[in-house]
């Protein structure tokens, strides 16, 4: 216990030493960069560049902390410096290390000192309650690239009870149209070598998947270097335990609302934790654990250890969201383990069912995001920094890199890369020293602001396919696909038809101040405690009954009631319709 307290105090000291650098400049000259202006529509976004008629003489330095694990870039990162030279500012980004998100944010709140920027993830409500964040709505009219990033309705969905907006959601803002080639979200991910070994079979159901994994493992129990293969891995560490607890919603053919199922015809919210499919899924995991198919260390490993196992190429299959293990797959590619890269499967509880793992949508109701803190000594400079990061030239630098170094431009204006450029893009040393995406600052998906290219290299159709390894091209072709998205059902969620989607954007903001929020917290704690035990139990039925008894004691009905009210609110906010039944 003493060691844990000392470690936490040491982390506080390190954070405070970082925060002491807030607002530092590289020079003493007072000249600031000019502001940018833009006009935008949801069909096509138009922004303008920072005024660079004269080179900025001052480089402002900001700090940021993000409550997720991530890779820091070098202090002398080349693109980071190019951006700084163009807009007159840069940011030192730090990520979650050795703590849970709740611990890290709690320590910052206790200290009362914050970096200039922060994304507290699920702890954003605590930051707002602590008075740690600056009201965005008091400033964003001066910064059109920020103001026009979301529609008025979307901004309104972020307004808190005190009348203010405190965060800028960074992700899934679609410019013009989606260009997705990769499933960035959740799926059952399986290595291409497993599918090739079985002559590319059609795998739809849970039973079919685990039979394939068992057969392959029996024939190929080790890697070429003698290391043992892990047929199925489960990440249960901290908030990443969604990899264990949420598959029942997908297995029943629902999209990722993250906390409830929604009947779009009746507007009813439902609990996926207690469905027949949930029972069947966890019973299947229990059976496969007893067969030795599931990693026996799944309960005890942390996120870093999970990533190490995936990076080794040993893990044949897992439920995960691609954005989380992408760096591990980059490592696999760098090692030349090309047949160990992953293909998404849209597994359902029974074969022949529609699935909704991939959903093309832009949420009508938003939550969370990037905040500027009250510790920031240059609030307007911080807003200007975000505003400038959304200009056309800078978004291209962040997403594509430097022309002639990271990509080429054809006579038709389309971007492409050589194989060397593609190899560089997945090399960890190159990424740390050269590439700077500012990934947790706002950016667009879909099309580049030039209106010709995709927002990122991996969503550029021609570039994407040419950049695939031979093994992956062969695998996709065997299933009649040219992209990872084509391996899944293509679902479009209309925000005017399902304006509640995704409901996790509300449940993530709940606190224990309400009966529903208290129930939600207890439900999470109970699932985190009991579900791993259910998987390894000698007697599944007894373990499941004990879990259900503990789960019902959390009063999930209180949580579901608040989720139901929020669904009604979102429908009325976006569509103007009152669908709440009369009492």
In angstroms, the CA 557 to CA 169 distance is: 29
pLDDT of residue 117: 98
pLDDT of residue 49: 64
* Average predicted confidence (pLDDT) for the chain: 90
The CATH code of domain 2-176+367-446 reads: 3.40.190.10
**Are the beta carbons of 180 and 491 closer than 8 angstroms?**
no
Radius of gyration of the chain (CA): 24
pLDDT of residue 192: 97
> Angle at which helices 206-219 and 276-291 pack, to 10 degrees?
10
**Which pLDDT tens digit goes with each residue over 220-243?**
999 999 999 999 999 999 989 999
Going by C-beta distance under 8 Å and a sequence separation of 6 or more, which residues neighbour residue 223?
Answer: 229, 312, 313, 314
Per DSSP, 222 falls in state: B
pLDDT of residue 17: 46
3-state secondary structure of 75: coil
Mean pLDDT for the stretch of residues 479-495:
92
pLDDT of residue 361: 78
Cβ density class 7-16: b for 16+ within 10 Å, e for less: eeeebeeebe
**Are the beta carbons of 98 and 304 closer than 8 angstroms?**
no
Going by DSSP bridges, is the β-strand pair 315-321/186-191 parallel, antiparallel, or unpaired? Answer: antiparallel
Residue closest to 238 by CA, chosen among 437, 73, 126, 105: 105
**Which pLDDT tens digit goes with each residue over 80-111?**
999 999 999 999 999 999 888 999 999 999 99
Question: pTM here?
Answer: 0.77
Mean pLDDT for the stretch of residues 179-184:
90
**Are the beta carbons of 61 and 21 closer than 8 angstroms?**
yes
**Are the beta carbons of 455 and 182 closer than 8 angstroms?**
no
3-state secondary structure of 69: coil
In angstroms, the CA 94 to CA 156 distance is: 30
Please, where in the chain does CATH 3.40.190.10 lie?
2-176+367-446, 186-362+481-492
Architecture of the 186-362+481-492 domain: 3-Layer(aba) Sandwich (3.40)
Q: What is the DSSP string of 334-392?
A: HTT-GGGSEEEE--BSSTT----SSEE---SS----BEEBTT-S-HHHHHHHHHHHTSH
Ramachandran assignment for 5, one of left (phi > 0), alpha (psi -120 to 50 degrees), beta (any other): alpha
| C-beta atoms surrounding 289 within 10 Å | 21
Lowest-confidence segment of 3-7, 471-475, 499-503 by average pLDDT: 3-7
In angstroms, the CA 207 to CA 429 distance is: 41
Going by DSSP bridges, is the β-strand pair 268-270/186-191 parallel, antiparallel, or unpaired? Answer: unpaired
In angstroms, the CA 486 to CA 161 distance is: 42
In angstroms, the CA 171 to CA 10 distance is: 33
Ramachandran assignment for 444, one of left (phi > 0), alpha (psi -120 to 50 degrees), beta (any other): beta
Give yes or no for residue 40 having a pLDDT over 50. Answer: no
pLDDT of residue 2: 34
Going by C-beta distance under 8 Å and a sequence separation of 6 or more, which residues neighbour residue 22?
Answer: 62, 63, 115, 116, 375, 376, 377
**Which pLDDT tens digit goes with each residue over 386-413?**
999 999 999 999 999 999 999 999 999 9
Per DSSP, 315 falls in state: E
In angstroms, the CA 110 to CA 510 distance is: 20
φ, ψ of residue 66 to 5 degrees: the values are: -120, 130
Mean pLDDT for the stretch of residues 436-460:
95
Residue closest to 158 by CA, chosen among 388, 306, 418, 364: 364
**Which pLDDT tens digit goes with each residue over 304-361?**
999 999 999 999 999 999 999 999 999 999 999 999 999 999 999 999 999 999 998 7
pLDDT of residue 195: 98
Helix, strand, coil distribution of the chain in percent, nearest 5: 45, 15, 45
In angstroms, the CA 118 to CA 116 distance is: 7
pLDDT of residue 52: 53
Per-residue pLDDT band at 463 (split at 50, 70, 90): confident
Give yes or no for residue 289 having a pLDDT over 50. Answer: yes
Which residue carries 């989720």 as its tokens?
Answer: 563
pLDDT of residue 57: 63
Q: What is the DSSP string of 131-196?
A: T-B--GGGTGGG-HHHHTTS-HHHHHTT--TTS----B--S-EEESS----S--SEEEEEEHHHHH
Q: Which two tokens stand for residue 259?
A: 């906390």
Q: Which two tokens stand for residue 37?
A: 């202006």
Going by C-beta distance under 8 Å and a sequence separation of 6 or more, which residues neighbour residue 406?
Answer: 400, 417, 421, 424, 425, 434, 435
Ramachandran assignment for 254, one of left (phi > 0), alpha (psi -120 to 50 degrees), beta (any other): beta
pLDDT of residue 55: 52
Percent of the chain scoring above 90 in pLDDT: 80
pLDDT of residue 369: 95
**Are the beta carbons of 388 and 87 closer than 8 angstroms?**
yes
Give yes or no for residue 366 having a pLDDT over 70. Answer: yes
**Which pLDDT tens digit goes with each residue over 41-67?**
344 555 656 655 545 568 999 999 999
Mean pLDDT for the stretch of residues 447-471:
91
């Amino acid at each position: 216990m003493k060691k844990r307290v000392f470690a936490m105090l040491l982390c506080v000291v390190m954070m405070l030493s970082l925060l002491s650098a807030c607002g530092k400049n590289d020079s003493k000259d007072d000249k600031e960069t000019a502001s940018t202006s833009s006009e935008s529509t949801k069909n096509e976004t138009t922004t303008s560049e920072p005024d660079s008629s004269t080179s900025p003489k001052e480089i402002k330095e900001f700090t940021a902390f993000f409550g997720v694990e991530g890779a820091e870039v070098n202090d002398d990162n080349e693109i980071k410096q190019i951006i700084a030279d163009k807009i007159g500012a840069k940011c030192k980004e730090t990520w979650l290390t050795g703590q849970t998100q709740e611990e890290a944010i709690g320590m910052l709140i206790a200290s009362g000192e914050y970096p200039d920027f922060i994304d507290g993830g699920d702890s954003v409500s605590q930051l707002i309650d602590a008075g740690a964040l600056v009201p965005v709505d008091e400033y964003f009219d001066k910064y059109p690239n920020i103001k026009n990033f979301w529609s008025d309705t979307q901004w309104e969905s972020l307004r808190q009870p005190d009348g203010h907006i405190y965060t800028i959601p960074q992700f899934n803002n679609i410019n013009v149209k989606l260009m997705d080639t990769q499933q960035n979200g959740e799926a059952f991910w399986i290595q291409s070598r497993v599918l090739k070994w079985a002559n590319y079979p059609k795998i739809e159901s849970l039973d079919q998947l685990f039979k394939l994994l068992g057969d392959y493992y029996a024939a190929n129990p080790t890697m070429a270097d003698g290391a043992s293969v892990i047929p199925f891995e489960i990440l249960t560490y901290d908030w990443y335990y969604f990899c264990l607890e949420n598959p029942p919603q997908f297995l029943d053919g629902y999209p990722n609302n993250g906390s409830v199922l929604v009947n779009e015809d009746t507007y009813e919210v439902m609990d996926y934790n207690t469905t027949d499919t949930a029972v069947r899924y966890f019973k299947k995991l229990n059976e496969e654990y007893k067969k030795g198919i599931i990693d026996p260390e799944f309960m005890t490993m942390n996120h870093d250890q999970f990533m190490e196992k995936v990076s080794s190429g040993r893990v044949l299959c897992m439920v995960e969201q691609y954005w989380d293990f992408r760096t591990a797959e980059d490592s696999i590619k760098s090692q030349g383990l090309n047949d160990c890269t992953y293909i998404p499967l849209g597994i359902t509880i029974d074969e022949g069912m529609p699935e909704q793992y991939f959903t093309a949508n832009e949420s009508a109701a938003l939550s969370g995001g990037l905040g500027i803190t009250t510790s920031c000594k240059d609030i307007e400079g911080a807003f200007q920094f975000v505003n400038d990061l959304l200009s056309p030239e800078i978004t291209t630098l962040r997403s594509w890199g430097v022309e002639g170094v990271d990509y080429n431009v054809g006579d038709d204006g389309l971007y492409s890369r050589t194989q060397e450029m593609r190899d560089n893009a997945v090399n960890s040393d190159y990424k740390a020293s050269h590439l700077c995406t500012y990934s947790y600052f706002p950016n667009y998906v879909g099309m580049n602001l030039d209106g010709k290219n995709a927002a990122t290299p991996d969503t550029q159709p021609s570039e994407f396919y040419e950049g695939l390894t031979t093994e992956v091209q062969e695998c996709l072709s065997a299933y009649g696909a040219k992209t990872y998205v084509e391996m899944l059902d293509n679902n479009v969620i209309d925000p005017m038809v399902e304006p509640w989607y995704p409901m996790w954007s509300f449940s993530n903001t709940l606190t224990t101040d309400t009966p529903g929020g208290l129930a939600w917290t207890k439900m999470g704690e109970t699932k985190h405690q009991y579900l791993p035990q259910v998987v390894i139990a000698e007697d599944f039925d007894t373990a499941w009954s004990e879990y259900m008894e503990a789960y019902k004691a959390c009063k999930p009905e209180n949580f579901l009631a608040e989720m139901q009210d929020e669904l009604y609110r979102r429908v009325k906010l976006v569509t103007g319709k009152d669908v709440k039944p009369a009492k």
